[in-house]
Structure 1
Amino acid sequence: METVSEPVRFETKIAVVLRDDLETWQRLNTTAFLVSGIGRQVPEVIGEPYADADGTGYLPMFRQPVLVFQASKEALTTSHLRAVTRGLPLSVFTTDLFATGNDRDNRAALRAVPRELLDLVGMAVYGPRNVVDKIVKGSRMHP
């Protein structure tokens, strides 16, 4: 059993920015898809597997919090540009992806649209805490 002695402060941040006009189911679905890419691209953000007192094993999860923000369409577009410019690990979700049903079609839908014309509904970004803070500036914590 681990002993907790002092709070853990992370030098990195995982942030999700969602467009503020989405339905609840769209917010949840988009968030789940967006964060899945970060664990694959940046495996060090994944902690150790979990187990309960009976020894039942569970999958590992992120080792740090995921902060979820909401923003206007314009602010989301600005955050996206900031993240792309800084070259941080980034995942995106567009309106078109709500109409697809699988990864192949998702990738094809994204590939069909130039970056500046993407109808973004969400993005997830990982990087140094101060850089991510600058990227999501203009967004507010999701209620």
Structure 2
Amino acid sequence: MRNDENPSPAPVRFDTKIAVLLREDLETWQRLNVTAFLVSGLGSAVPEVVGEPYADADGTAYLPMFRQPVMVMEGTKENLTATHSRALSRVLTTAVFTSDLFTTGNDRDNRDAVRAVGRDGLDLVGIAVYGPRNAVDKALKGARMHP
């Protein structure tokens, strides 16, 4: 069979973007933990970001995952504050992780810790945003790709 009879499928380009911005001074374990927590609610809040379940060649079933990449970025405390403001002004789906959450041990206490501080006073160590690609890119202005 000639190559031109079976062309490669075109690359998939998504109109939306999932991005996580982490504060640059976090320890490695904190970066991983914060990223996992930040994206954990996205699938229930925006079900269309989740693809179909997986299965291997033996038929073993696996959970579905996001249907698109998650961009992981890093920045300064000021980058996080600015991204938070821009994400909210663009009405992007947003999750936050504050420094206080490193001292709690459960979901109830996590929510109480965030609820105890006003929006502009949150000590953000991570933020996840989802929405139209261009709006997410604008919200993340000044951040850089995680190394």
TM interval, short-chain normalised: over 0.9
**Deviation, structure 1 residue 64:** 0.1
Partner of 2:76: 72
SS of structure 1 residue aligned to 2:41 = helix
SS of structure 2 residue aligned to 1:55 = coil
Residue 97 (structure 2) aligned to one of 74, 93, 99 = 93
Question: Does 1:53 pair with 2:57?
Answer: yes
Whichever of the two has the greater Rg, that structure is 2
Task: Measure the CA separation in 2 of the matches of 1:69 and 1:138.
Answer: 10
**Deviation, structure 1 residue 88:** 1.0
Structure 1 stretches of 5 or more lacking a match? none
**Deviation, structure 1 residue 4:** 6.0
Q: Percent identity?
A: 72
Relative to structure 2, which stretch is displaced further, 83-92 or 56-65? 83-92
Provide TM-score, normalisation by structure 1.
0.96
Question: Does 1:30 pair with 2:34?
Answer: yes
Relative to structure 2, which stretch is displaced further, 80-89 or 3-12? 3-12
Aligned length: 141
Partner of 1:109: 113
Quote the RMSD (CA, aligned, Å).
1.1
Partner of 1:13: 17
Partner of 1:121: 125
Task: Measure the CA separation in 1 of the matches of 2:99 and 2:89.
Answer: 22
SS of structure 2 residue aligned to 1:7 = coil
Structure 2 stretches of 5 or more lacking a match? 1-6
**Deviation, structure 1 residue 87:** 1.2
